[in-house]
Amino acid sequence: MRLMCIVAHPDDECYAFGGALALAADRGVETYVVCLTDGQAAKHRGSADSGKELGRIRRQEFVASCDVLGVTHHEILDFEDGRLEFAEFSSTARMLVERMRSYRPQVVVTFGGDGGVNLHADHMMTSALTTAAFHWCGQANRFTELGALHQPERLFYVTTNVFLPGRPSPKPIPWTAVLDIRSVQQRKFEAFRQHVSQAPLMNRTKEFFEKLGPQEFYALVAVTDPQPARPASDLFEGLLSH
């Protein structure tokens, strides 16, 4: 089985999806995280004295975090942090289609269109781009030059039941899957600690993560076969291993 996770910035992979990625690794699922930017526009700069230096640092932190989570494959693309809304849509989605057709995941996870708990526009664009790529990946009239078609079987958006204090609340998507991440929760926190440049953010959101507790929430938003929405506790429930 294969899981693809598409995010906007280094640290998204752990704070939003760390439980799902670590659980997948523990059960032998191959995982691939694609991050669209290197996070140069972050408010917290660590020891960096330039955007380029911060990007280099955050790339290293991303690798370390993925290693803690047991991610099989990971890469950071070169889109500009904070400006994904201005990226050319079709060509950017094409890059994701190319990776989906090559990697051939059964399950894809990304942000919802609400932008996540911090309402980040880059998260919103990541959602839109990933959603388009999920559907175009299996369509014969889209990007014929990219090789054999592949249709992932499920697309999930991460969602939440709590909000960051002092920020406007997102309009979260109702969840259909609740993951029990108690067995990997400390690894999720350890992965976040690899993002040393973002330590002030980790300290500020510690209470939020404690309130969130040992769960991650996901909404199933697309499938290959028509079916009713129903509660689940496993992103791979009912899928055949191949």
Q: At what angle do helices 18-26 and 185-193 cross, to 10 degrees?
A: 120
Residues lower than pLDDT 50 in the chain: none
pLDDT at 115: 86
- The alpha carbon of residue 54 and the mean position of all alpha carbons in its chain are separated, in whole angstroms, by 21
Q: Measure the CA–CA gap between 187 and 68, rounded to whole angstroms.
A: 7
- Tell me the domains of the chain and their CATH numbers: 2-223 (3.40.50.10320)
pTM attached to this predicted model? 0.94
DSSP codes of every residue in 176-232: SEEEE-GGGHHHHHHHHHT-GGGHHHHHHTHHHHHHH-SEEEEEEEEESS------B
Tokens of 196: 């040393």
The predicted-structure confidence for 60-117, as pLDDT tens digits, reads as follows 999 999 999 999 999 999 999 999 999 999 999 999 999 999 999 999 999 999 988 8
Tokens of 26: 């523990």
